[in-house]
């Protein structure tokens, strides 16, 4: 059983060695632990620090591609190098390295394919009261969108089984944290959260420059992911809102019309017809989106099979395939 711990890096020379020194060297149930960094276009000596420390793999981007692209590149490299479990952590040593054992344990025990570390948000001193409230609100929205019970959706401290990692696809360029939860929940993947600890802040977050920008990008990411995986559900709600408004406007016009004063309320008729037209268009867009989503699911299954051929199967998956062949042969 091989574990690869990946760390996305962008100008992290000052903190990377601290984070690397905190990582575990042995975990019960894991035969081999390797380390990988994703150099996302750093301008400092991040790569030199990593190589001097002794990381096993370095994924290099010449220009900054963003957290989501870096995350997927790290998964690709880890899978190609035989990882059975992949852990993603931060280069600023936000998370306690010893807690990696906590987040890989549910995978080792066969309880989950994705495990998310739940930070003690209310007890984190460098989080402002506003940030704490927004973190809770954002996690609540993600839980509703993904139909999961993840209490800390923005947490980047995560573990993935090989099988789950091969099924992930991140479309947006902002962050992988929210989209992957919505994706996993809508695909009925086994997702679990475990409480973890955090270290004191070494540097400010680079993911967002303002609270408003963070909220805006997060909501756009959640909305986009939900529309991708549940388009008919989303657009039916949009159609319902416009339909109710349009129906109310038409009823208002008809009431005045039968009272003999409809000529003075033509605007209600115009607004009602316009709102109902938008509602019908939204519903048909939802139907079209649902058809596209069904095709995407087929393409994702094809991609998964291609990834299995490209990356190879884990020992557990090979055993399952052997058992399946044996049963089919007997039949």
pLDDT tens, position by position, for the chain (331 residues)?
A: 899 999 999 989 888 999 999 999 999 999 999 999 999 988 989 999 999 999 999 999 988 888 888 899 999 999 999 999 999 999 888 899 999 999 999 999 989 999 999 888 777 666 677 777 877 777 887 787 777 888 888 888 999 999 899 988 887 777 788 788 888 887 888 899 999 988 877 666 655 556 666 667 767 777 777 787 788 888 999 999 999 999 999 998 888 888 877 677 788 889 999 999 999 999 999 999 888 888 888 888 888 888 888 887 665 555 555 444 444 444 4
What's 6-41 look like in SS3?
A: EEEECCCCCCHHHHHHCCCCCCCCCCEEEEEEEEEC
List beta partners, residue 95. 198
Contact 74, 85 (CB under 8 A): no
Q: Which domain holds residue 190?
A: 2-224
DSSP 5: E
List beta partners, residue 121. none
Q: What is the reported pLDDT for 261?
A: 77
Question: Do 206 and 240 sit in the same domain of this protein?
Answer: no
Question: Do 284 and 189 sit in the same domain of this protein?
Answer: no
**Domain total of the chain:** 2
Ramachandran angles phi, psi of 45, nearest 5° = -100, 40
Q: What is the reported pLDDT for 188?
A: 84
Question: Do 23 and 78 sit in the same domain of this protein?
Answer: yes
Q: What is the reported pLDDT for 239?
A: 94
Ramachandran angles phi, psi of 80, nearest 5° = -65, -25
DSSP 174: S
* Domain edge (last residue) among 224, 240, 271: 224
> What are the structure tokens assigned to 193, written together?
């959260």
Question: Do 265 and 314 sit in the same domain of this protein?
Answer: yes
* Domain edge (last residue) among 191, 209, 224: 224
Q: What is the reported pLDDT for 77?
A: 93
Question: Do 166 and 194 sit in the same domain of this protein?
Answer: yes
Ramachandran angles phi, psi of 85, nearest 5° = -135, 140
* Domain edge (last residue) among 224, 252, 276: 224
Q: What is the reported pLDDT for 317?
A: 59
Q: What is the reported pLDDT for 36?
A: 96
- How many Cα atoms occupy the beta-carbon half-sphere of 242 within 13 Å? 17
Distance from chain centroid for Cα 46:
26
Of 78, 4, 70, the residue nearest 35 (C-alpha)? 4
> What are the structure tokens assigned to 309, written together?
């051929």
What is the arrangement of strands in the sheet containing 32-40, beginning at the earlier edge strand? 57-61, 32-40, 2-9, 85-88, 158-161, 114-118, 191-195
Question: Do 68 and 46 sit in the same domain of this protein?
Answer: yes
Ramachandran angles phi, psi of 22, nearest 5° = -85, -10
Question: Do 213 and 99 sit in the same domain of this protein?
Answer: yes
DSSP 88: E
Question: Do 220 and 249 sit in the same domain of this protein?
Answer: no
Question: Do 121 and 258 sit in the same domain of this protein?
Answer: no
Distance from chain centroid for Cα 321:
29
Q: What is the reported pLDDT for 204?
A: 63
Question: Do 235 and 220 sit in the same domain of this protein?
Answer: no
């Amino acid at each position: 059983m091989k574990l690869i711990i990946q760390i996305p890096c962008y100008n992290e020379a000052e903190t990377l060695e601290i984070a690397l020194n905190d990582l575990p060297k042995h975990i019960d149930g894991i035969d081999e632990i390797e380390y990988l960094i994703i150099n996302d276009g750093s301008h400092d000596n991040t790569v030199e620090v990593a190589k001097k420390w002794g990381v096993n793999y370095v994924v290099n981007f010449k220009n900054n591609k963003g957290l989501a692209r870096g995350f997927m590149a790290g998964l690709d490299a880890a899978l190609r190098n035989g990882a059975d479990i992949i852990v993603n952590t931060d280069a600023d040593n936000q998370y306690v390295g010893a807690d990696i054992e906590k987040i890989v344990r549910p995978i080792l025990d066969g309880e989950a394919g994705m495990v998310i570390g739940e930070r003690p948000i209310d007890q984190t001193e460098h989080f402002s009261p506003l940030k704490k409230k927004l973190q809770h609100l954002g996690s609540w929205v993600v839980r509703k969108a993904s139909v999961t019970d993840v209490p800390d959706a923005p947490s980047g401290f995560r573990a993935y089984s090989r099988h789950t990692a091969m099924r992930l696809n991140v479309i947006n360029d902002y962050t992988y944290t929210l989209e992957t939860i919505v994706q996993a929940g809508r695909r009925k993947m086994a997702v679990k959260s475990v409480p973890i600890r955090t270290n004191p802040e070494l540097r400010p977050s680079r993911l967002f420059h303002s609270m408003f920008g963070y909220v805006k990008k997060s909501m756009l990411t959640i909305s986009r992911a939900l529309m991708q995986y549940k388009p008919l559900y989303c657009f039916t709600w949009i159609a319902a809102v416009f339909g109710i408004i349009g129906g109310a406007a038409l009823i208002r016009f008809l009431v005045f019309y039968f009272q003999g004063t409809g000529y003075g309320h033509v605007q209600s008729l115009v607004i009602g017809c316009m709102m109902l037209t938008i509602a019908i268009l939204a519903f048909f867009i939802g139907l079209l989106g649902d058809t596209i989503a069904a095709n995407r699911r087929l393409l994702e299954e094809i991609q998964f099979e291609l990834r299995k051929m490209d990356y190879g199967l884990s020992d557990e998956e090979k055993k399952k395939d052997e058992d399946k062949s044996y049963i089919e042969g007997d039949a």
